[in-house]
Amino acid sequence: RPTPSGRDGISVLVERQHRLHGTSLIVDASVLLRLTPSASCTACAFFHRFFHRRSLRDFDVWSVAAGCTLLSTKLEEETGSGGPAPRRLLREVAAVYGHLFRRRRLRIGRRASGS
C-alpha cells in the first residue's frame, strides 16, 4: 500500500532516506537530553506512524522529529535534565534540535569545502 509521500510522487528511496534521517535526529536528541531508550523508541514509532498518514511534501522531518521527541517525553513522563517543569523541557528540546541543526549544517559545510 503506497504511503501519502508515494502518492505525492516521492520515490521510495527518498522517503526511506528522510525517515532514516528523522530517526537519526531523534536518537541523537535523545542522547543529548538523556532520555530513556523507551522514550527514544516511542518517539521513533510516533515519527514513522506520522509519515504513514502524512506526506513528506507537507511536513519537514526536523519539525516532526522534534514534536515526536517532545510528545514521547510527555507520554513516558520524562523530565529531562532540568526537573519536572514542562516549559523547561520544551526549551531543552528546542535547544537540542537547534544544536543538532547547527552541528549537522557545519558538518555538511566542511564536506562541501573538501576539508
Express each pLDDT in 27-40 by its tens digit.
999 999 999 899 99
The number of beta carbons lying within 10 Å of the beta carbon of residue 77 is 9
The predicted structure's pLDDT at residue 52: 93
- Its pTM stands at 0.82
Mean pLDDT to the nearest integer, 43-58: 95
Separation of alpha carbons 66 and 115, rounded Å: 30
